[in-house]
Structure 1
Amino acid sequence: MLVLLPPSEGKASSGRGAPLKLESLALPELNGAREAVLGELVELCAGDEDKAREVLGLSAGLRGEVAKNSALRTAGARPAGEVYTGVLYDALDLASLDAAAKRRAARSLLVFSGLWGAVRVTDRIPSYRCSMGVRLPGLGALGAHWRTAMDSVLPEAAGGGLVLDLRSSAYAAAWKPRGEVAGRTATVRVLHAPTRKVVSHFNKATKGRIVRGLLAAGAAPKGPAELVEVLRELGYVVEAEAPSGAGRAWSLDVLVDEVH
C-alpha cells in the first residue's frame, strides 16, 4: 500500500541537526528536479525580500519564512514526519505509534511537496515554505515542473498494490495515476454527514485518523474494494464509487458527524 499525503503549511523548526543531504532522500531520480527548485528558491529568498514574498504568496508577517528559505542548504534537517505539522499530522500522530506501525509508515507514506516533489516521512529535510501552487520566475508553475519527473518515477514507487490518494487538489496536480495504476487507486473525500459538504477541519483530521488506523491495525488491503471493507471494520461510514472505465480511480466518500 502506498499512501499519498499533502504536506502542511505549518512546519516545525528545523532544529540543530545535520544539514540536508539531497542524495539521501528517497526517490533519488527526483534529485535533478529537486535541485532545480532548491537552487532557484534559495537564490530568490537571498535577494529581494519583497519579490520573494510576492512569489511565495506570503504576508509581511511571514517575512521570516523568506530568511528561512535562504538558508535551506545549511539549516538543520529532521525527519519529514516531524517537520510537517497541522491538523492531518496531529491526528496521524506518528510519534505515538508503536514500532511496527512506524515501520509501516516509513514504507507506505509519501508526502508531496512543492520543494521536494515527494518524500518519505523518514527523509531528513529542513523546514521550508514553498507550496505546490507557487510559480517561480525561472521554472514556472511547480505543479507542471514536477509532473514530468513524477510520471517517470511514481508508477514504480506505487508497486503492485493499493494507492490511497489523500492529497489536496494542488498536490494531486503534480502526479495523476494512469492506466493500470489508476485502477487500483482510491481517492477519498471526507464529508460532514448532515450537510454532505467538505469541511476543511473534518477532512484533514479524519484523513489523519484513517491513516493512523490503517497503520496501527497493520491493515494491508490489496485494492480499493478491500480498503472499503477495512475502513468499515475500523468504524467508518464509507460510500464507494467504482470507476466507470479503465484508467480511472475509485472514489470513496467517508461520512462523519464530528471529529474528536
Structure 2
Amino acid sequence: MIVLLPPSETKRDGGDARVALDWQRLSFPSLTSPRQAVTSAVIELASDTEASQRALGISAKQLFEVERNRMLLTAPVMPALERYTGVLFDGLDASSMTSDEVAFAHETVVVHSALFGPIGAGDLIPAYRLSHNSKVPGFPLKKHWRGVATQALSELGGLQLDLRSEAYAQLGTAAENSAYLRVVTAGADGKRVALSHFNKKSKGLFTRALVRAGIRHESVDSLVAWAGDAGFRLEHGAPGELDLVVDNA
C-alpha cells in the first residue's frame, strides 16, 4: 500500500549542510527532467523579489521564502517527512517514530510536491516555497505535472490511499487501484459533511496509525477492517472513496 499525502506550505529550516539536492536520489526518476525545469524557473523567479511575492502569494513578512527558492540547489537537505510542518505533519509526528516505523514510512508514504512532483517520504529535499496555485511564469503547474505525475503514480503497485487535497490531486491522478479518503462528520440526521479545520489533523493521525501498525494492505476491505480494530471509523463512501468519520469537536 502507498499513502499519498499533500505537502505543506510551511517547511522546517536546516538539514544536512554537507549534502545538497541530488536529482538522482529522488524517487520516481522519470520525473527528473520536469523537476529540473520547474526548479530552474523558480530559481530564476527568485531573482525578482516583487515578482516572486506576487507569484507565490506571500506577504512582506515572508520574503525569506524567496531566499529559500534562490538557494534551492545548494541549501541543506533533509527527508521530506521531516521537512514539512503544519497540522497534518504534526499529527504524523515523524520525530516520535522508531527506526522501523521510519523505514516503513519511507517505503510507503509519498508526498505530492508542487515543485518536485511525487516524492518519497525519505527523499532528501531543501526548504522551498511553491504551492499548487503558484503562478510560475511559463509553468502552469497543473498542466506541467498532471500527465507525468499520473504516469509515475500508475507505475506503483498495490493499493494507493489518496489523502491529498483535491487541488493537489489535480496535479496527478492516483493509480486505478486507489481510494480517495475524505474526512467527514456525521450529523444527528446521518448526513455527512466534509470537515475543513480537523481535516488535516485527522489525516495526520490516521497516517501515523498506519505507519505504526506497519501493515501493507492490498485491498480496501483489509484497510477498513484494520481501521475498525485500530479505533477509526472508516467506511465506504462514494465510488472510489472512503469516509473517515470523526467527531466535529
- Please give the alpha-carbon distance, in whole angstroms, between the structure 2 residues aligned to 1:238 and 1:22: 37
- Please give the alpha-carbon distance, in whole angstroms, between the structure 2 residues aligned to 1:40 and 1:110: 24
What is aligned with 1:14? 14
- Please give the alpha-carbon distance, in whole angstroms, between the structure 2 residues aligned to 1:242 and 1:221: 20
**Number of residue pairs the alignment of both structures matches:** 245
Distance 1:212 1:175, change over 3 A: same
What is aligned with 1:189? 182
- Secondary structure, aligned partner of 1:136: coil
- Please give the alpha-carbon distance, in whole angstroms, between the structure 2 residues aligned to 1:221 and 1:26: 21
Q: Are 2:226 and 1:230 equivalent residues in the alignment?
A: yes
Q: Are 2:193 and 1:200 equivalent residues in the alignment?
A: no
Query: 1:52, 1:66 within 8 Å by CA — same for their partners in 2?
Result: yes
TM-score (structure 2 length as normaliser): 0.93
- Please give the alpha-carbon distance, in whole angstroms, between the structure 1 residues aligned to 2:248 and 2:95: 24
1:213-228 correspondence runs (5 A): 213-228=209-224
What is aligned with 1:129? 129
Selected match of 1:253 from 240, 243, 247: 243
What is aligned with 1:87? 87
AA matched with 1:256:
V
Query: 2:78, 2:125 within 8 Å by CA — same for their partners in 1?
Result: yes
**Structure 1 residue 89: deviation in Å?**
0.7
Distance 1:132 1:101, change over 3 A: same
Percent of pairs with identical residues: 40
- Please give the alpha-carbon distance, in whole angstroms, between the structure 2 residues aligned to 1:215 and 1:11: 21
AA matched with 1:170:
A
TM-score (structure 1 length as normaliser): 0.89
Q: Are 2:97 and 1:97 equivalent residues in the alignment?
A: yes
- Cα deviations by residue, 1:151-188 (Å, 9 ceiling, x for unpaired): 332211x21x11100000111001113xxx42x21111
- Cα deviations by residue, 1:119-145 (Å, 9 ceiling, x for unpaired): 111111100000121231122x21210
Distance 1:242 1:192, change over 3 A: closer
AA matched with 2:32:
N
Selected match of 1:162 from 159, 164, 169: 159
- Secondary structure, aligned partner of 1:201: coil
1:37-48 correspondence runs (5 A): 37-46=38-47, 48=48
**Structure 1 residue 221: deviation in Å?**
1.7
Q: Which runs of 5+ in 1 are unaligned?
A: 244-249
Distance 1:237 1:16, change over 3 A: closer
- Secondary structure, aligned partner of 2:198: helix
- Cα deviations by residue, 1:2-38 (Å, 9 ceiling, x for unpaired): 1100001111013452211122111111010000000
Query: 2:14, 2:77 within 8 Å by CA — same for their partners in 1?
Result: yes
Pairwise CA RMSD of aligned residues?
1.6
Q: Are 2:168 and 1:175 equivalent residues in the alignment?
A: no
Query: 1:2, 1:110 within 8 Å by CA — same for their partners in 2?
Result: yes
